[in-house]
């Protein structure tokens, strides 16, 4: 994690993989495909977000073969089809990663992390879900305040910045309203 308790890219992939496996066992091939699909649709193709983070899940004891079946050798054609499940240690790691802070939504990585929180929020205890919803609402409030201040500061300038900022402000207001509804539904 970064110093501000936000996720680095490999942790985002770890969160996604553990969340996927928490819903149902999947083979390594299925897991890799779903991780690539989800991350690719949120942030576009990225070598930083596939590969190595998935391979270490088993080594770190976060996932295991379904039913504790023995590992097949890597050169066995069936090794890729063995179903993986999340271990208790993996569930604890999933909840830790879900509890991470989020930076304001100014990067594709942050959008991915918010999408992951939305996808797997239901796996947390209700009180922890509310904490995360409040965190997201606070971030949206700060983002809206930042953009509104910038808009006011550059209001009299020529160009198209103010039009673009109006669009960003409208989107931020919509996110703020949406997170308020989410937060209130969890209260």
- Which pLDDT does position 80 carry in this prediction? 67
pTM equals: 0.80
Phi and psi at residue 20, in whole multiples of 5°?
-60, -45
- Which pLDDT does position 75 carry in this prediction? 58
Question: What is the four-CA torsion angle of 25, 29, 34, 35, rounded to 10 degrees?
Answer: 100
- Which pLDDT does position 124 carry in this prediction? 94
What single string gives the DSSP state of each residue in 68-115? GPPPPPTTSTTGGGSEEEE-HHHHHHHHHHHT-B---S-SHHHHHHHH
- Which pLDDT does position 70 carry in this prediction? 59
Task: Decide yes or no: CATH 1.10.10.10 for domain 1-103.
Answer: yes
Task: Count CB atoms within 10 A of the CB of residue 153.
Answer: 10
3-state secondary structure of 26: strand
Give the pLDDT of the chain (187 residues) as one tens digit per residue.
777 777 888 888 899 999 999 999 999 889 989 998 888 888 877 666 665 567 789 889 999 988 666 565 555 566 667 899 999 999 999 999 999 888 776 778 888 899 999 999 999 999 999 999 999 999 999 999 999 999 998 888 888 999 999 999 999 999 999 999 999 999 7
Instruction: Parse the chain into domains and list their residue ranges.
Output: 1-103, 125-187
The edge-to-edge listing of strands for the beta sheet with 26-27 is: 26-27, 83-86, 63-65
């Amino acid at each position: 994690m970064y110093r501000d308790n936000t996720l680095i890219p490999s942790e985002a992939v770890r969160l996604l993989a553990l969340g996927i496996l928490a819903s149902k066992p999947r083979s390594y091939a299925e897991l890799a495909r779903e991780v690539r699909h989800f991350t690719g649709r949120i942030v576009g193709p990225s070598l930083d977000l596939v590969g190595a983070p998935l391979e270490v899940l088993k080594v770190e004891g976060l996932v295991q073969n379904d039913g504790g079946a023995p590992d097949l050798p890597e050169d066995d054609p069936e090794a890729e089809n063995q179903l993986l499940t999340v271990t208790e240690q993996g569930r604890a790691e999933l909840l830790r990663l879900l509890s991470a802070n989020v930076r304001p939504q100014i990067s594709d990585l942050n959008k991915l992390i918010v999408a992951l929180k939305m996808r797997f929020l239901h796996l947390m205890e209700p009180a922890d879900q509310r904490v995360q919803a409040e965190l997201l609402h606070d971030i949206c409030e700060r983002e809206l305040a930042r953009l509104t201040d910038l808009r006011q500061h550059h209001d009299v300038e020529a160009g198209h910045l103010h039009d673009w900022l109006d669009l960003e402000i409208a989107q931020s207001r919509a996110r703020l309203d949406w997170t308020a509804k989410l937060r209130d539904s969890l209260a």
